[in-house]
Chain A
Amino acid sequence: GQNIDQPTEMTATEGAIVQINCTYQTSGFNGLFWYQQHAGEAPTFLSYNVLDGLEEKGRFSSFLSRSKGYSYLLLKELQMKDSASYLCAVMDSNYQLIWGAGTKLIIKP
């Protein structure tokens, strides 16, 4: 079966750095997405990785290792508004997105 694993919940301090991991086992791979979802709102796109390596976008970076079936989302200089769930999703061989259950990130002052 297809599976996306990410931690259920993480806590970090304002101003710090946090890394949210995602491991996957899917039938085929056509890219990995990270989305942010604030409570009661729709998911919004953060990043897309299809090749190995690190993609940096301001305070957010995403890393992919296809051989290890592994990705992480790195958030720097954490702000209170970063409190949200972070969803990892992999596009499989049928071009359908398989979603993880999400990591709830709690930021403390």
Chain B
Amino acid sequence: IAGITQAPTSQILAAGRRMTLRCTQDMRHNAMYWYRQDLGLGLRLIHYSNTAGTTGKGEVPDGYSVSRANTDDFPLTLASAVPSQTSVYFCASSRRLVGETQYFGPGTRLLVL
């Protein structure tokens, strides 16, 4: 079934630990994105990638890093988690960066203690 998968579904993490959230799409989309969603706030873009091999910073990139080694995968890494990174993380993809519908994965619920 075509779409976007994310792993894990949820995670409880001790502050200071390193964590990688995984995202894989099989739609051969060029552009991919990572958002966080917090109660009362809109989705905020963390990082994005226009195509394999390139990445860019979004609105809230501090404390996060990404890589795009191939078209399908776009992992998000928290090098040293802090409680303010408690959130729901959504990965999304679109055919291109410009003017295209973004399709979202099911999300990862992360609690940092």
Which residues on A are within 8 Å of B, measured CB to CB? 4, 30-31, 33, 41-45, 48, 50, 87, 89, 91, 95-102
Which A residues touch B101, using CB under 8 A? 33, 45, 48
Q: Is the CB of B104 within 8 A of A99?
A: no
How many Å from the CB of A56 to the closest CB on chain B? Answer: 17
- Chain A CB within 10 A, most for which of B42, B45, B101: B42
Interface residues on B, range: 20 to 34
**Which chain A residue shows the least CB distance to B50?**
A95
Main secondary structure of the interface of B (DSSP, over half): loop
Q: Is the CB of A97 within 8 A of B102?
A: yes
How many Å from the CB of B65 to the closest CB on chain A? Answer: 18
A44-B104 contact in complex given A31-B99, A95-B98, C-beta closer than 8 Å: yes
**Which chain A residue shows the least CB distance to B31?**
A95
Q: Is the CB of B44 within 8 A of A42?
A: no
Q: Which of B40, B48, B106 is close to A41, meaning CB atoms less than 8 Å apart? A: B106
Which residues on B are within 8 Å of A, measured CB to CB? 40-45, 48, 58-59, 90, 97-99, 101-107
Provide a sorted-by-A list of 23 A–B residue pairs whose CB atoms are within 8 angstroms: A4-B42, A30-B99, A31-B99, A33-B101, A41-B107, A42-B104, A42-B105, A42-B107, A43-B104, A45-B101, A48-B99, A89-B42, A91-B99, A95-B98, A95-B99, A96-B45, A96-B58, A96-B59, A97-B43, A99-B42, A99-B44, A100-B42, A101-B40
Which B residues touch A33, using CB under 8 A? 101-102
**Which chain B residue shows the least CB distance to A96?**
B45
Which A residues touch B107, using CB under 8 A? 41-42
Top-6 shortest CB links A-B: A99-B42, A42-B104, A99-B43, A45-B101, A101-B42, A95-B98
Which A residues touch B43, using CB under 8 A? 43, 87, 89, 97, 99
